[in-house]
Amino acid sequence: MRTQVAIIGSGPSGLMLGQLLTNAGIDNIILDRVDRDYILGRIRAGVLEQGMVDLMDRTGAGARMHKEGLPHDGFSLSFSGRMTRIDMNKLTGGKRVMVYGQTELTADLMDHRAATGGVTIYNASGVTPHDFDGDSPYVTYEKDGVTHRIDCDLIAGCDGFHGVCRASVQDKGVQNFEKVYPFGWLGLLADVPPVHHELIYANHERGFALCSQRSKERSRYYVQVPLSDEVEGWSDDAFWDELRARLPADVAEKVVTGPSIEKSIAPLRSFVAEPLRFGRLFLVGDAAHIVPPTGAKGLNLAASDVHYLFEGLQEFYSDKKWSGLDVYSERALRRIWKAERFSWSMTMLMHRFPDEGAFGQKVQESELDYLSSSTAAQTAMAENYVGLPY
């Protein structure tokens, strides 16, 4: 079997890249070790920057997103019993974000790929990239007890943090940068109306909390917990009590509770691998970087990677030039590190750190108080939240 671009991983980055290539007449095959149902069973966030929304429209899979997604013009920071609203729309000249679940976005991309004849091979075990540092790369995998080979021009590694692509370049000069945070997020998903029409980020002496949503009838809430906690130790009632304790009283009394659909604890880390190109293999999305979810950048960084890589691939196949692919890593990393900085700063600002003590708490309170009264500080936060330009 042969294709022009072999894409390993059928998450949002792999699907977006594959669809853009298909739309441009560039042959591609997507491989994934699991099946569609498993992928769609994973609960993920869904705050989309304008660039991500535009990219979904370019794939042709954005119709349901516009119909069911919730545009947000701002968000609120809660601290010391009060709230400050960051008016993103006003501060950035009309920009906004879209709340639309990653699971729904992934399903839309899968359906559109199937409708446009794109090839995705699920349940492909042992997927391995070969000879990507030469002129004739290929990918092998096993399915139904048979070993298969796909020859290709280029390989896109869109297979996530634990995928095979970054593992395949660990001895080829990759440099990893990582910060692990000393807490996690306990998240609860429930079919209850959101407490607020926009997101609320709360800094409280008991720890961070986030009021988010998936739709007008489905809410996603989080509270900061120690890494030693286990989800089995948290009943729904205990979660709701803790959430309300960390919110201003007038907000807490409006929280509608209900049974959880899903409940889990996610550790937080910042991670970047450099470079993103190894011969004819390119790392994309979570295969290259992870951000704490505080700044809502994970999915959106995958989109900007796809944008830069697609531009390079389009030039490669239309003009027979390597220039776009040669600068892919540099261009993508420049934006990645800015998003890493923002996510880190939001995490440091809104969480309680066990070792920071009273001094750290006072610094946070001072920064939040400054934000509440400074248009310049709010503008910088809004610009980063809606997404820096590609």
Which sequence positions are flagged as catalytic? 72, 201, 293, 297, 385
CA gap 141, 147 in Å, rounded? 6
**Which of 168, 156, 172 is CA-nearest to residue 130?**
168
Q: Give all strands of the β-sheet with 70-72 in edge-to-edge order.
A: 47-48, 97-99, 70-72
CA distances in angstroms from 184 to 13, 349, 354, 376, listed in the order given: 25, 15, 12, 31
CA distances in angstroms from 106 to 34, 65, 166, 353, listed in the order given: 14, 11, 22, 34
Backbone angles phi, psi at 364, to 5 degrees: -60, -45
- Two tokens, residue 102: 């990653």
User: Residue ranges of the alpha helices (H) in the chain?
Assistant: 12-23, 36-40, 50-59, 63-68, 88-91, 102-115, 164-167, 236-245, 249-252, 298-319, 323-326, 328-350, 357-373, 375-386
Non-local CB neighbours of 6 within 8 Å, separated by 6+ positions: 28, 29, 31, 129, 137, 138, 139, 150, 152, 154, 155, 156
**Which of 261, 300, 329, 277 is CA-nearest to residue 387?**
300
CA distances in angstroms from 6 to 1, 137, 181, 254, listed in the order given: 11, 9, 35, 50
CB 273 within 8 A of CB 288: yes
CA torsion through residues 149, 154, 156, 162, sign: positive
CB 166 within 8 A of CB 287: yes
CA distances in angstroms from 99 to 70, 73, 77, 135, 296, listed in the order given: 5, 11, 18, 42, 10
